[in-house]
A and B are shown apart, each in its own frame.
Chain A
Amino acid sequence: MFTTEMLESVKKVEATRAARMGTEPERMSAEEKDALLKQYHPDYREEGFDRIQVGPNAGQKAPRELTALLHSNSRLLHRNLDLTKIDYDVDVLVIGGGGAGASAAIEAKAAGADVMIVTKLRIGDANTMMAEGGIQAADKENDSPVQHYLDAFGGGHFAARPELLRRLVMEAPDAIQWLNGLGVMFDKDESGRMVTTHGGGTSRKRMHACKDYTGAEIMRTLRDEVLNRKIPVAEFTSAVELLKDEKGQVAGAVLLNMETDDYLVARAKTVIIATGGAGRLHYQNFPTSNHYGATADGLVLGYRAGVPLLYQDTIQYHPTGVAYPSQIFGALVTEKVRSLGAMLVNREGEAFMHPLETRDVAAAAIIRECTQRGMGVTTPLGSGVWLDTPMIELMGGEGTIEKRIPAMLRMYLNYDIDMRRQPILVYPTLHYQNGGLEIGGDGFTKTVPNLLVAGEAVGGIHGRNRLMGNSLLDIIVFGRNAGKMAAARAKETVLGRPGLDHITEYARQLQAAGVETEGVSPLLLPDYARHER
């Protein structure tokens, strides 16, 4: 499958392998990392950003594609929907059917609330399903939640909100125990000890995994549990706007049947936004590792209702997306490949960096290798560097790849590339939205009463970069918390009349700011269909 140029380069990678095996490339100093990020990380490319003109974050920058959605109007503007005809009436409305939404629904139901999930695709069609590498928790003897806090805080450039990060690390072991109790099959040794590894930027081996199907194993278990508990799930039903009552409390959402284009009204005493990320907005034209529905819908709904964003200008580019073959361009190559020992190697066979730097640093270093240094390998869609996967078999013994990262092996074998014998080509891919809607330590937004956010749609848990394994963790920790909080709050909430005045007000602000738009948002699905005319 490889081109002649690629095969030539593979020979150089093979030639240096034995010598590289015995060494560990040096880690960068704090100053080197800062300089590298400023010069090569996409977050520092001004042309990728615009200023937000209206709302709580007016004057701040956000990716251009996100700004365009924030500058668009509601599809319900000037449409006189009868909001008195209620299609669903619940205590807790969960928007989003990924890991955070499912966790929230399970806990809300356990707390006695009448809860439902709405999701624009199917339950489980979410980034959770695609998380491969692992989930962090400080549960080994040489580790502690405090050490986990330090790793995450530093890895996120000291910008995480302490009250959020505290919850993340302190409730991590509990999250693993909860998942294990639901039947998630974690990798364990014969005595039951968790098999844990490093991730980029961890100081202790605290990455728990289920082979390289960690997210899939968690998601299918949570989905099964949602169904076991008979929690109603409205699939192919998106939320297109939040409802607020005359007291300013959230009061539910207007839904759209994705197949019939009919609108529906869901009244709810509390609402949890668990809509996930934004990879399908393809910031700066990057490919993405995200699922089809990752279009930042929750950010748009929440922002229009008055919830501020936090760190909306920081995006995680996963250093190792597939660079070749084109059919799987941008797909994730789990960080676990590096945890297991594979090095990042350039065209000439040189290991140009320590394989376990944090993701932002690794992504920037790969971009530098492929641009300024001209040491990338040419591919049909750009360029890439080698991830020297045969090292895993040499270090861990034959069969390690099949046992520990079977999904990766399968993905490449589909295209006749055997990663046990040949290295693979990688380049950064748009992976995670570090920022999102702002919440307090209790999971509620600070501006719209009874509205909560959980999962990737939240900003501030990780700061300005996120460590591997802390996202699967945050969806469980903050999802469960949101479910419990929402159920409790619903008991004491008296709803007024659901309305949409806030979208009219938002439209007025857009007009006042001189923003001219014909677009509508949220986007719901990316526009991939090609039409010749």
Chain B
Amino acid sequence: MEEMVNVYFFGKKYSVPASLTIMTAMEYAGYTLKRGCGCRHGFCGACATIYRIKGKNELKTCLACQTQVEESMYVASIPFFPTDKRTYEIEDIRPDQRVMMELYPEIYSCIGCNACTKACTQDLNVMQYIAYAQRGEFEKCAEESFDCVGCGCCSVRCPAGISHPMVGLLARRLTGKYIAPQAEHLNRRVEEIHSGQYDRLIEQIMEKPIEEMQELYNHREIEK
């Protein structure tokens, strides 16, 4: 017999196999998920979930698809969180400290409680990347926040009302576009293609008979 545990979805008790994740346990219990379910593999952040083990004080946050059920787990999924994304023209902004002050001034109201970091389902040092953003150190903020899946658990817990994933995202876009050095070989190749340098060569290979293509393919040199 499979080992079973009791879990409570939105306060209602179900007996489910202990090997399941919170997500598959909900389906086992009969739920057809619409909200709170996206990629199912820990990349999209759709399944942000809050839970508490009966009798324990601590409130935990997790991704339902990446977390195994436990005995006496009280579970509530977060169907939607009103994240506050500010809009901007990526071409018009620059990676200076002012841009954060203008778009996300609330980051300067951070009280240093570290609830965001404790809530992070990816174990990121969220408060640290917000500190980098405050100081205009966008590259560090980008690196520290890189693995963010945008589940929003940090924002749910923040007393200052910060939308942390949006701050990290802005820092990453600034870094990718303005701070990281340009790839010269890429820009050169784009120009070569636009100038028509490969037009004839590509026409030629497109017209080759299959036998010749097989020959070329099977004997092509492979870079070590």
- CB-based contact B37/A529 at 8 Å: no
Q: Which of B21-60 contact A (CB under 8 A)?
A: 21, 24, 27-35, 37-44, 46
Distance of B142 from chain A, by nearest CB (Å) = 6
Distance of B7 from chain A, by nearest CB (Å) = 14
B residues less than 8 Å from A406 (CB atoms):
146-147
A residues less than 8 Å from B205 (CB atoms):
146, 149-150
C-alpha gap A126/B44 in the complex (Å): 8
Complex partner residue of A174 from B41, B122, B175, B193, CB under 8 angstroms: B193
- CB-based contact A184/B176 at 8 Å: yes
- CB-based contact A185/B142 at 8 Å: yes
B174 in the interface (beta carbon within 8 A): yes
Distance of B129 from chain A, by nearest CB (Å) = 14
C-alpha gap A217/B39 in the complex (Å): 15
A residues less than 8 Å from B32 (CB atoms):
525, 527-529
Which residues of A are interface residues toward B (Cβ below 8 A)? Answer: 30, 121-122, 124-126, 129-130, 137-142, 144-147, 149-151, 153-154, 158, 162-163, 166, 169-170, 173-174, 176-177, 180-186, 188, 190-194, 198, 203-205, 211, 213, 215-217, 220-221, 224-225, 227-228, 230, 236, 258-259, 289, 291-292, 326-328, 331-332, 406-407, 410-411, 414, 525, 527-532
B97 in the interface (beta carbon within 8 A): no
C-alpha gap A331/B206 in the complex (Å): 36
C-alpha gap A414/B186 in the complex (Å): 38
Also in contact, A186 and B202, with CB within 8 A (given A130-B43, A180-B186): no
C-alpha gap A227/B30 in the complex (Å): 35
Stretch of B81-89, B110-118, B156-164 on the interface side: B81-89
Also in contact, A177 and B187, with CB within 8 A (given A221-B173, A327-B20): yes
Distance of A497 from chain B, by nearest CB (Å) = 33
Closest to B149 in A: A216
C-alpha gap A528/B37 in the complex (Å): 12
Also in contact, A213 and B37, with CB within 8 A (given A183-B177, A228-B89, A327-B20): no
- CB-based contact B30/A531 at 8 Å: yes
Which residues of B are interface residues toward A (Cβ below 8 A)? Answer: 19-21, 24, 27-35, 37-44, 46, 66-68, 85, 87-90, 122-123, 142, 146-147, 149-150, 169, 172-177, 180-187, 189-190, 193-194, 198, 201-202, 205-206, 210, 213-214, 216-218, 220-223
- CB-based contact A411/B66 at 8 Å: yes
Distance of A224 from chain B, by nearest CB (Å) = 6
Most chain A beta-carbon contacts within 10 A, residue among B19, B42, B176, B194:
B176
- CB-based contact A192/B41 at 8 Å: no
- CB-based contact A205/B223 at 8 Å: yes
C-alpha gap A198/B214 in the complex (Å): 21
Complex partner residue of A411 from B42, B182, B210, B218, CB under 8 angstroms: B42
- CB-based contact A166/B186 at 8 Å: no
Closest to A127 in B: B39
Distance of A260 from chain B, by nearest CB (Å) = 11
The 6 A-B pairs of least Cβ separation, nearest first, read A183-B173, A192-B181, A154-B217, A125-B38, A185-B176, A183-B176
Complex partner residue of B41 from A142, A183, A221, A331, CB under 8 angstroms: A331
